Amino acid sequence: MAPVGALAGRPPGAARRASAWLFRRPGLRAALTLTPPLGWFVLLYLAALVALLVSAFWSVDPFTSEVVHKWTTANFKSLIEDPTYRRIAFRTIGIAAAVTITDGILAFPFAYFAARVAPRRLQTVLFVLVLLPLWSSYLVRVYAWRLILAHDGALNWTLDKLHFGSLNVGYSNWAMWIVFSYIWLPFMIVPVWTAIERVPDSLLEASMDLGGSVWRTFRSVLLPLALPGLIAGSIFTFSLTLGDYITPTLVGGASSDFIGNVVYRNVGVANNVPFAAAFATLPMIVMGIYLTVARRLGAFEAL
């Protein structure tokens, strides 16, 4: 509330003059607001990323493990030629896609119920319940799944009591698929919920009035409008799975190495940052493409 009366007749104070001066210079204001965040990003993050990409073209001396600053494409050559890394890349991308699709299917009916069917009170409860798991350490939740899926674990124990026999799911790619879908589910639910909520009632009613069946309304009206939310959620599930190395370490089996494991092994263990950087360009490229497509589909407004 501007105290107009009190100010009338008094010369403007320093702060007021400064703010008026700034008001006449939108460009400067833009620069001032934009410089801190962009400065942070460009100087810290982008510079680091570019330096990383550049180091992918270097190599490492075998015995002293010092980085040799000589331009070479040897890292990329071994990545492309060695079938091991192709396998690992396909496995990573494949499971990431499977997890994304699974989470999309699991999240949508939940989000629809929460956004449109549940009464107000229940909505608050549901929202809190969806976010709560995010506060109980990712590591501990993955470790709990180890217990559930182990040979003598909770799942087999339950199946045994129900006389369904037992599964050998522990420490395998199946286990990783289940665990990843579990961990990232809240990240998919929230944007989809938000997107469905934003779809106006009137549109859906109009579609029904025009003679559309429930399925048709869903397919042609609801789904396209909720799609940005699905895509936004998929950015998280896909990218988080693509780069993870902890879940494969904890619940993976003998053939469960992910891109992240190779990268981690080369950075945190073998101290071969150039090779790790070279392999890391693959998820960067994949996510770059994914993000560009997602932006086209309007996912950025739904994030």
Partner 1 sequence: MPEGRWKWATAAVAVVVMAVAAGCGSSSSSSSSKPPTKIGKGEGKLNLVAWEGYTQPEWVKPFETQTGCKVSSKFAGSSDEMVTLMRQGGGSQYDMVSASGDASLRLIRGGDVKPVNVNLVPSWKDFIPQLKSPSHNTVDGKHYGVSVQWGPNVLLYNTQAVTPGPTSWSVIYGPTYKGKVSVPDNPIQIADAALYLSKTNPSLGITDPYELNQKQLNAATDLLKKQKPLIKKYWALSSDESDLFKNGDVVVGAAWPIAVKTLEADKQPVKDTIPKEGATGWADTWMLSAKAKHPNCAYEWMKYISTPKVQAQQAVSYGETPVNQKACPLMDQIEKGSCARLHANAPASYFNSIKFWKTPIADCGNGKTDCQDYTVWQKKWQEVKG
Partner 2 sequence: MRESRLTRVGLGIWTTLILLFLFVPIVIIVVYAFNPSNVQGWPLPGLSTKWFSQTWHDQGMRDALWLSIRAALLATTISILLGSAAAFAVHRYRFFGRETVSFLLVLPLALPGIITGMALNSFFSFWSIDLSYYTIVIGHATFCIVIVYNNVVARLRRTSSSLIEASMDLGASGLQTFRYITLPVIGTALLAGGLLAFALSFDEVIVTTFTAGAQNTLPIWIFGKIRIGQQLPEVNVVVLLVLLVTIVPVTLAQRLTREPRAAAGVG
Interface with partner 2 in residues 157-196 (CB under 8 A): 157, 182, 185-187, 190-191, 193-194
Six-digit token pair at 252?
């993976």
Binds 240: which of partner 2, partner 1, none (CB < 5-8 Å by kind): partner 2
Bridge partners of 59?
Answer: 68
Instruction: Give the binding site for partner 1 (CB under 8 A).
Output: 42, 46-48, 50-51, 54-55, 60, 62-67, 69, 78, 82, 84-85, 87-88, 146-147, 150-153, 168, 170-171, 249, 252-255, 257, 262, 265, 267-272
Shortest distance, position 143 Cβ to partner 2, whole Å: 6
Six-digit token pair at 153?
């674990």
Q: With respect to partner 2, which residue has the nearer C-beta, 173 or 251?
A: 251
Binds 66: which of partner 2, partner 1, none (CB < 5-8 Å by kind): partner 1
Q: 67 to each of 58, 60, 95, 102, 271, how far by Cα in Å?
A: 7, 4, 33, 42, 9
Confirm or reject binding of residue 90 to partner 2 (CB under 8 A).
no
- Exposure of 174 by Cβ count < 10 A (0-12 exposed, 13-18 middle, 19+ buried)? middle
**According to CB under 8 A, which residues from 250 to 279 bind partner 2?**
250, 260, 263-264, 267-268, 273, 276-277
User: In this chain, which stretch among 20-28, 58-66, 76-84, 162-170 interacts with partner 2, using CB under 8 A?
Assistant: 20-28
Bridge partners of 60?
Answer: 67
Dihedral in degrees, nearest 10, Cα atoms 254, 256, 258, 263: -10
Check residue 199 and report its DSSP letter: S
